[in-house]
Amino acid sequence: MSGVLDELFSKMLHSRIFKNRELLRPDYIPDELPHRENQIIALAKILAPALQGERPSNVFLYGLTGTGKTAVTKHVLKALKKHAENRVKLATIYVNCRHDDTNYRVLVRLCEAFNVNVPFTGLATAEVYRRFINGIEKFNGIAIVVLDEIDALVKKSGDDLLYKLTRVHTELRKSKVCIIGITNDLKFTEYLSARVISSLGEEELVFPPYTAPELEDILRMRVRDAFKPGVIDDSVIKLCAALAAREHGDARRALDLLRIAGEIAEREGSDRVTVKHVKKAHREIERDRIVEVLKTLPLHSKIIVLALYLLSKSKREATTGEIYNMYREICRELSLDELTQRRVSDLIN
């Protein structure tokens, strides 16, 4: 056994494919972000007043997933912090609202950033908000608060907290707050009241999808440090970029394809990544996505999919009536109350 393990670990240590696998992780932010120069400069200009002790305007960033919103924001904040050192008291706070998706949890994160103690549950939200205000006043500086994926917060908890935060500067005497709101959901503004749109969107930045050639540049830059020399040839980069460009110009998808293709090549004992490995990686990602969609379907929709699957084994096409009968049979088998045929045919549609 130990021989097998030795071989496995030593293979991992002496990868023939990867030089530094970490650089392909989704949360890694490279020092350079090609094709986002405009957004970087625009955001930097909006935030620059912080260096003179002034409150920057709130900013609303939007664009589809993988268009570099999070990376650009973190990149600019890092540089801003460096320049603020010894000059102004600047705090940058990053909250991912997909993880912290209630008003309470977001406030707990903000309190933590100012060393204010709050329990994870139990207090009234208004009390946590009060403690946050005290904490930030004590800080006596400028705080830039990033609320990433704010659509998740608003969909779950409404936009009251967002409204308060985007106007919190009117309540403060000593400290100043700027809010950067980020969303992947372009229809998200439909969930926001006009008052929030106007206070959050003092400035707006749009992140368009990357084109295939832009994705190629992003991948090429990453390949240099992440892979061993000669492992990736240009056809591999082109294919990853083309597939991700089809998927609304998503840099995350392009990088995932490259990483997974590399892992497949490694598993197969190959010393190069080929187009075949990329195609396999593409199928793997698609399959995972379908599994994810199926997993998150509501129970009765899952049963309908199961009914369709069972019927498809015996015939090419099924009528709604046949699907409904099969659906009912499964419900009885599981001792579940069935939905009406009307409702089921709505779900099928």
Per the listing, tokens 């200009």 go with 45
Q: In what order do the strands lie in the sheet with 142-148?
A: 90-96, 142-148, 176-183, 59-63, 203-207
- Please state the φ and ψ torsions of residue 65, each to the nearest 5 degrees: -65, 145
Q: ∠ CA 32-35-41 to the nearest 5 degrees?
A: 75
The interface region with ligand ADP, picked from 95-103, 249-257, 276-284, 309-317 by CB under 6 A, is: 249-257
**Residue 70 touching Mg ion (CB under 5 A):** yes
Q: CB nearer to Mg ion: give 70 or 199.
A: 70
From the list 19, 21, 35, 167, which residue makes contact with ligand ADP (rule: CB under 6 A)?
35
Candidate segments 47-55, 64-72, 89-97, 279-287, binder of Mg ion by CB under 5 A: 64-72
Beta bridge partners of 91: 143
> How far apart (Å, rounded) are the C-alpha atoms in residues 31 and 76?
10
The Cα–Cα gap between 61 and 207 comes to 7
Kindly state the smallest distance separating residue 149's Cβ from Mg ion, in Å: 6
Tell whether residue 245 is a contact of ligand ADP (CB under 6 A).
no
The region of 42-50, 59-67, 158-166, 198-206 touching ligand ADP under the rule CB under 6 A is: 59-67
Instruction: Write the binding mask 218 to 237 for ligand ADP: x where contact by CB under 6 A, - elsewhere.
Output: x-------------------
DSSP state of 62: E
CB 273 within 8 A of CB 17: yes
Instruction: Tell me which of ligand ADP, Mg ion, none is bound by residue 252, counting a contact when its beta carbon lies within the kind-specific cut-off of 5 to 8 angstroms.
Output: ligand ADP
The tokens describing 302, both together, are 């899952």
Q: Residue 212, SS3?
A: helix
Among 146, 251, 303, 326, binds ligand ADP (CB under 6 A): 251
Residues that bind ligand ADP (CB under 6 A): 26, 29-30, 33-36, 63, 65-71, 184, 207, 218, 251-252, 255
Residues that bind Mg ion (CB under 5 A): 70
